């Protein structure tokens, strides 16, 4: 899984002189529970302020798709995506939210932030 970030493509931010917020929401995220082997489902939300680069939408979709058959915990999904996107985009700010469907009646949300820093 360590090379997954290579799926992500970028394009040049056309408006680098101002801060603005880009949000991408994938309501069809799925991976596999590492304990039971059953599929997990959830919604992943990416919010970021770009610096020099923006993430290309189609490659982001393929990146999310690549988790489809991985065994990974909720807490790790969200932190892992944050690390990959920070590596690839070096953004001014980034936040990842994972909202996961109920299991055993109970559902979970995990939120991680990369704090604002002006380049």
Q: What residues act catalytically?
A: 33, 40
Q: Decide: is 10 part of the binding site for a copy of itself (CB under 8 A).
A: no
Residue selected from 4, 9, 93, 112 as contacting a copy of itself according to rule CB under 8 A: 112
Q: Token pair for residue 25?
A: 């929401």
Distances (CA, A) of 112 to 16, 45, 84: 24, 11, 13
Site string for a copy of itself, 63-102 (x = CB under 8 A): -xx--xx-----xx-xx---------------------xx
- Measured CA to CA, the distance from residue 33 to residue 43 in angstroms comes to 15
Residues near 36 by beta carbon (within 8 Å), at least 6 away in sequence: none
Residues at the site binding a copy of itself, with contacts judged by CB under 8 A: 13-15, 18-28, 30, 38-39, 41, 54, 57-58, 60-61, 64-65, 68-69, 75-76, 78-79, 101-113
């Amino acid at each position: 899984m360590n090379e997954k970030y290579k799926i992500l493509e970028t394009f040049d931010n056309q408006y680098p002189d101002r801060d603005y917020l880009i949000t991408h929401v994938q309501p069809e995220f799925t991976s596999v529970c590492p304990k039971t082997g059953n599929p997990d489902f959830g919604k992943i939300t990416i919010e970021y302020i770009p610096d020099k680069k923006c993430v290309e939408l189609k490659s982001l979709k393929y990146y999310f798709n690549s988790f489809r058959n991985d065994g990974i915990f909720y807490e790790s999904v969200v932190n892992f995506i944050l690390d990959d996107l920070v590596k690839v985009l070096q953004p001014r700010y980034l936040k990842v939210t994972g909202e996961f469907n109920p299991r055993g009646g109970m559902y979970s949300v995990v939120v991680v932030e990369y704090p604002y820093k002006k380049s």
